[in-house]
Structure 1
Amino acid sequence: MAIKEGIRTGGRSARVQQSVHAAVRALLQEQDRASLTVPLIAARAGVTPSTIYRRWSELAALLADVALERLRPDGEPADTGSLRGDLLAWAEQYLDEMSSEVGRNMMRDVISSACPGYCTRILRGQLQVILDRAEARAEALPDLDRLLDLLVAPTVFRILFAEAPPSAQQLPALVDLALA
């Protein structure tokens, strides 16, 4: 059910994770996600199904773990020189990535697992980098939870549940609301 934290970065555990993740990614390119099963993934990865169940407990947790690996940012958010600019650049990139079919599927995988807090930690980390830079520039700072509530939450809600995700033209209003 829960994705295990603190797993060693080397050794057999790392090799198993790497081969299982690679198998999931390859299978997702070859077939519909609804047809994925733990035995199918295990066969592709060269492990037993019990190995996958022991580590991830369920298919949803495995898919969430693979999704979270892709969600982790490659680097820090863009530094535009202002808090508003940084938030807007971050929000545009986030919207672009998460409103894609791959992004929506990743969010659904995480939601269907018992691990949605991992996404929040990743988002908090990215937004904290932006806030730390703004603080160093002596800009007025909003609360981190305010950014989650007024910028991230409506974006995620509209991506997953509305007829259409928010447009890039709507993001400045969300950023301004969060900064008000």
Structure 2
Amino acid sequence: MARRQMVRPGGRSTRVQQAVHDAVRELEAETGRDTLTVPLIAQRAGVTPSTIYRRWGDLKELLSDVAVERLRPDTAPADHGDLSADLTAWAEQFLDEMSSPTGRAYIRDALLGDPDGTNAGQCSAYAAEQIDTIISRASSRGDHPPEVETVLDGVVAPLMYRILFRPEGLNTPYAQGLVTRLLAADGMAAD
């Protein structure tokens, strides 16, 4: 079932979304994910179950929406003054966050309740925005960095594949090596 975005005057839609997201997070922390139900979430959020069904369709789509929101980066990537250092630090942080048990659970939820690919696209956009910030900084310093898509293909895609399907041997040196190979292939010397 496709989600319907209802926009109501006065920000009610935003308040409902926030209340429901908060309820999911609180209940998950208190009782665990396996006990979550739409009626329980609705009661905690102060809305009717039909409000949740109308907006999200089902529990999987709601959990997917919450996961996508939780996967949104809180801050811009750190500026270390150098493309290689910036991209390496970002890749290490991305790996650390996404490969954690919590990160994997969010990824799983984001994809499971995403029948039309919207949430996957949003998660990809988060990574692209972060990379674009790094690349823009490098360009402003006079560097000639790779394109965003090149970084997504050379760093993010292999990390996500390994996180989801082959986590053994997935570590910081692996992420660092992806960045080093990407920059070497693109003609940028990686420190």
Report the TM-score, using the length of structure 1 for normalisation.
Answer: 0.91
Alignment of 1:34-113 (within 5 A): 34-113=34-113
Of the structure 1 ranges 47-56 and 57-66, higher mean CA displacement relative to structure 2 is found in 57-66
Letter in 2 for 1:171: A
Distance 1:150-1:30 versus aligned 2 partners, 3 A rule: same
Letter in 1 for 2:181: L
Kindly report structure 1 stretches of 4+ aligned residues shifted beyond 4 Å: 1-10
Q: Which runs of 5+ in 2 are unaligned?
A: 186-191
Match of 2:19 in 1: 19
SS of the residue corresponding to residue 116 of structure 1 reads helix
Cα root mean square deviation, aligned:
2.0
Q: Distance in 2 between matches of 1:7 and 1:15?
A: 11
Post-superposition offset of 1:99? 1.2
Q: Distance in 2 between matches of 1:5 and 1:126?
A: 26
Match of 1:126 in 2: 130
CA contact (8 A) 1:97 1:103 kept: yes
Post-superposition offset of 1:92? 0.9
Letter in 2 for 1:154: P
Q: Which runs of 5+ in 1 are unaligned?
A: none
Q: Distance in 1 between matches of 2:154 and 2:9?
A: 36
Q: Which has the larger radius of gyration?
A: 2
Post-superposition offset of 1:3? 5.6
Match of 1:136 in 2: 140
Query: Residue by residue, what CA displacement relative to the aligned partner does 1:15-63 show, whole Å, maximum 9, x if unpaired?
Result: 2111101110011112332332212211221211110111112222211
CA contact (8 A) 1:155 1:165 kept: no
Letter in 2 for 1:88: T
Count of residue pairs the alignment pairs up: 180
Q: Distance in 1 between matches of 2:149 and 2:138?
A: 16
Identity of aligned residues (%): 52
Post-superposition offset of 1:175? 0.3
